[in-house]
Chains A and B, each alone.
Chain A
């Protein structure tokens, strides 16, 4: 095994890296109470004023609602397509297994500017469609498929096909088997995939800036546009602090869901 000295240094490095990870996030949180609107450090005083202003901000509220709608729509599409892809790949041992896997990873493996520009060019130059929230949903769904696919496929690999075969042997049709066996078997994998997909879409900005019309503001776009405006900066900071707090929610859900939270949480951004 590893020597005690090495174990101790690993523990120390882990601690340092975690500090490196959490200090900036803590800073956002503390600065949301900073009375100085240029965030001088250390803060000269603390106030709840910015939280109040942010709460009243119509722009932030609208953007939040837009993001939620886009993320839900993209997630629904990703759930459908991701599940179908995993099911199709499972039953058929057709030639292109690797090709399909690669195709599903590609939208997330290729840089965001590429996917974004490809969609923008496809919609506007080639198809002559105006950009809207729908074009954003289509683009988001494309890179969200992988999250559902990965989770569902992992579940299939773990559980095999024997339950479904038993169901069919006992006389259940395809649909009954899907309803009573396959779907319950997949439920938590689908939830994990949906959660990841929602988070991915909710947070996405690069592809979004390429596929949204100038009027459409998702929350990340709203933050980005207000980031550089000095009088809006404290409000942006509060929104950022809220997002940091809320990032604990999916983690909590994932823990409740899978017990370990690692399956499907790795490997997808």
Chain B
């Protein structure tokens, strides 16, 4: 089957080659890649403080962005699925999808404008004697949460749609208040949908380096380290070693997600 050849051989092959390359080394003088086995790259990755910090920072931001998006997505998805009229529901789906089609770069760029020193945020903050927080970790977190929000809203919305409305009534009949129903009935049923959405928010954050460059100031994430070490003039084997970190994290994440049945909801 051609698709399996393409994905199975070409893509998995490329991933395998990446792992192999991470065990090679680069000659400092000639810049040629030397095909000799070594664990040097991984030793650097774990021993050098900067890389350790960047790794934890990246995972931390990925987790934070995921939580922010889940918290923002739940009310809007619930409103769309269970409160809005069919007409409003249709319009809301469009309203959520629209920004998904707007270019990724444009959205990151938009936040560069929002956070700029004399931009709208500074303008709103000025009367209170405050400044724009400027470019950095905070702007990066906001921008990434913004970028990936639709990826969380859509699966959660689809998941909540599947919760039968009769369950809400049954729960109410049995004496549960709205909050209780949400916590004990709706959230557990929607959980796989949250996990499905989180795969995107988490993975996209782990692999991002563009948004960080646009709004992050000097902040570095794993993606930046990978990008800065690629190319002919740099250290591809080390970049490959760094890239294994998101692979391992994501494979672990996917394995955990599988157990919740989230992969069927993608």
A residues with a Cβ closer than 8 A to B are 1-3, 5-7, 9-11, 13-14, 17-18, 20-25, 27-28, 31, 38-42, 80-82, 84-85, 88, 100-107, 109-115, 117-122, 125-126, 138, 141-142, 145, 150, 199, 203-206, 209-210, 220, 223-224, 227, 236-237, 240, 243-244, 247-248, 250-251, 254-255, 260-262, 265-267, 269
Contact = CB atoms under 8 A, between A and B. Distances in A.
Interface stretch (B37-45, B47-55, B86-94): B86-94
A142 B178 CA distance: 45
B79 A11 contact: yes
B103 A102 contact: no
Contacts, number: 282
B177 interface: yes
B266 A11 contact: no
Given A20-B146, A107-B11, A109-B199, A39 B209 contact: no
A3 B177 CA distance: 8
A13 B154 contact: no
A25 B110 contact: yes
B134 to A, nearest CB: 15
> 8 smallest A-B Cβ distances: which pairs?
A111-B207, A24-B110, A122-B14, A85-B3, A247-B101, A118-B14, A266-B154, A13-B75
25 contacts: A2-B182, A6-B182, A7-B83, A17-B72, A20-B72, A21-B146, A39-B113, A40-B118, A81-B3, A102-B254, A104-B7, A105-B266, A109-B203, A111-B206, A111-B207, A113-B222, A113-B246, A138-B10, A210-B227, A223-B105, A240-B109, A248-B98, A260-B90, A261-B90, A262-B154
A102 B197 CA distance: 16
B6 interface: yes
A121 B75 contact: no
A25 B149 CA distance: 14
A250 B106 CA distance: 17
B119 interface: yes
B265 interface: yes
Contacts of A122: 10, 13-14, 17-18
A203 B196 contact: no
Contacts of A11: 79, 83
A2 B176 CA distance: 10
A7 B82 CA distance: 9
A125 B111 contact: no
Interface string B194-233: 0010011001101111100010000000110011001000
A81 B2 contact: yes
A121 B18 contact: yes
Nearest to B75: A13
B61 interface: no
B2 A84 contact: yes
B105 A118 contact: no
B236 interface: yes
Interface string B1-28: 1111011101111110110010000000
B207 A112 contact: yes
B79 A117 contact: no
